[in-house]
Structure 1
Amino acid sequence: MKVMTCPVNGPRNIAEFQWLGPVRDDEAPEGRALVEHLFFAPNPMGVLREWWRHTPSNTVFIAERHLNTDEILRTYLKGAGTANASGAE
């Protein structure tokens, strides 16, 4: 069983989570950049910051996941940064 650590509820079964996409810049793109922003997701090899939601509690948070190994490195609430980061179990 794969486990992800929710920053609010602790370690939980991965089936309780919903993937919401990669974390992107807050700036509003225009023109061609808008098309790329809407239709092309980044596909880097390495660590990607992603939005996730713990569905039972409706907690939305950021997870850092290594795309080669599918290992969840840490999870944290937006704005918490590294101070309240939790590692995956």
Structure 2
Amino acid sequence: MLLVTCPYCGARPEIEFHCGGEAHIARPETPAALDDADWASYLYTRANPKGVHAERWRHVHGCGRWFNALRNTVSDRFIATYKMGEPRPDLSPSQPTPAGGQ
């Protein structure tokens, strides 16, 4: 079973979590100013990378909180988890794997 590290509760089985899609997508400041194409792009256009991807996750059957995670979409391995509002961890080769990684 895959373990996911909740930044609030620690490592838990994957069945306790729900993915909420891509992380770090800012809501438009003035939604009424967007035309239909721009609004559709904001709502539906997402990156679908092969490799490391930032996602939002919710610990549904635990603390209920949202957090962000860096996950490799090829191996399904969680590299790091971090609280909402925190910056995305730097994963440069000179840096060790961030806390919360598996």
Aligning the two structures, in what range does the TM-score lie when normalised by the shorter sequence?
Answer: 0.7 to 0.9
Q: Which runs of 5+ in 2 are unaligned?
A: 90-97
- Within-5 A mapping of 1:17-56: 17-28=17-28, 30-31=34-35, 32-55=37-60, 56=62
Bigger Rg, which one? 2
Cα contact 1:7–1:85 (8 A) shared by 2: no
Structure 1 segments of 4+ aligned residues over 2 angstroms from their partners: 79-82
Larger fraction in strand: 1
Number of aligned residue pairs: 87
Unpaired runs of 5+ residues, structure 1, are none
TM-score (norm. length: structure 1): 0.83
Q: Aligned Cα RMSD in Å?
A: 1.9
The code of the aligned residue for 1:87 comes to G
Provide the C-alpha distance between the structure 1 equivalents of 2:43 and 2:25, rounded to a whole number of angstroms: 12
